[in-house]
Amino acid sequence: MSFARRVLFVCTGNVCRSAMAEQLLRRLAAVRGLGLETRSCGTAAESYFEVPPVVSRLLASRGVPPFAHTARLVTRESLRWADLVLAMTAAHVEHLVEKYPEFGDKVRLLREQAGFGEQDVADPMGRPDEAFAACLSSIEESIEALIRNGFMPPAPEMR
The domains found in the chain, sorted by start residue, are 6-153 (3.40.50.2300)
Identity at 22, one-letter amino acid code:
E
Which of 11, 16, 41, 135 is catalytic? The answer is 11
Which of 17, 26, 27, 72 is catalytic? The answer is 17
Task: Determine the pLDDT at residue 35.
Answer: 86
Q: Assess whether 129 carries a catalytic annotation.
A: no
pLDDT over threshold 80, residue 148? yes
Asked if 69 and 13 count as a contact pair (C-beta separation under 8 A), the reply is no
User: Using CA atoms, how far apart are residues 101 and 103, in angstroms rounded to an integer?
Assistant: 5
Which of 5, 62, 123, 129 is catalytic? The answer is 123
Measured from the Cβ of residue 86, the count of other Cβ atoms closer than 10 Å reads 33
Helix residue ranges per DSSP H, the chain? 17-32, 53-61, 76-81, 90-99, 110-113, 129-148
Confidence grade of residue 87 (pLDDT, cut at 50, 70, 90) = very high
Confidence grade of residue 1 (pLDDT, cut at 50, 70, 90) = very low
* Chain length of the chain: 159
Q: How does pLDDT run across 4-53, given as a tens digit for each residue?
A: 789 999 999 999 999 999 999 999 999 988 889 999 999 999 999 999 99
This prediction has a pTM of: 0.93
